Amino acid sequence: MPPKEVVRIEDDADRWRFLCPRGHRTWEPTNHHFWCQLCARRDDADGVFYELRDQKTDALLKRDRVQLLTDSGPYDHDLDGGAQ
C-alpha cells in the first residue's frame, strides 16, 4: 500500500495545494471526513465530503489515504496516528 499523503492543515502551502472537490480552500477536517464552508452555503451542494483534491497531481485523495497533521501532532489519532 502506498504511503499516505501528509497534509499539514496549519501550513499555508498545504492549504493552497489541497482543495475540496469543488476547488475551494475553505475546508476543515471533521470526524473522519471534511467540511467546506463555501460548499455548505450553496443550495445545490453539501458541505460534507470525503476526498481532497491535490492540485499538484489533480488526484482525489480519500480521507483514509491522507495523514492530517497539526502543530500538536496527528489530527485524528485513530486514522493519522502512525507514520506511514
Three-class DSSP category at 40: helix
- Give which of 28, 32, 31 is closest to 18, Cα–Cα: 28
pLDDT digits 0-9 by tens, 11-65: 999 999 999 999 999 999 988 899 999 999 998 878 999 999 999 999 999 999 9
54 burial level (CB within 10 Å; 0-12, 13-18, 19+): middle
Contact 33, 49 (CB under 8 A): yes
CA gap 55, 77 in Å, rounded: 26
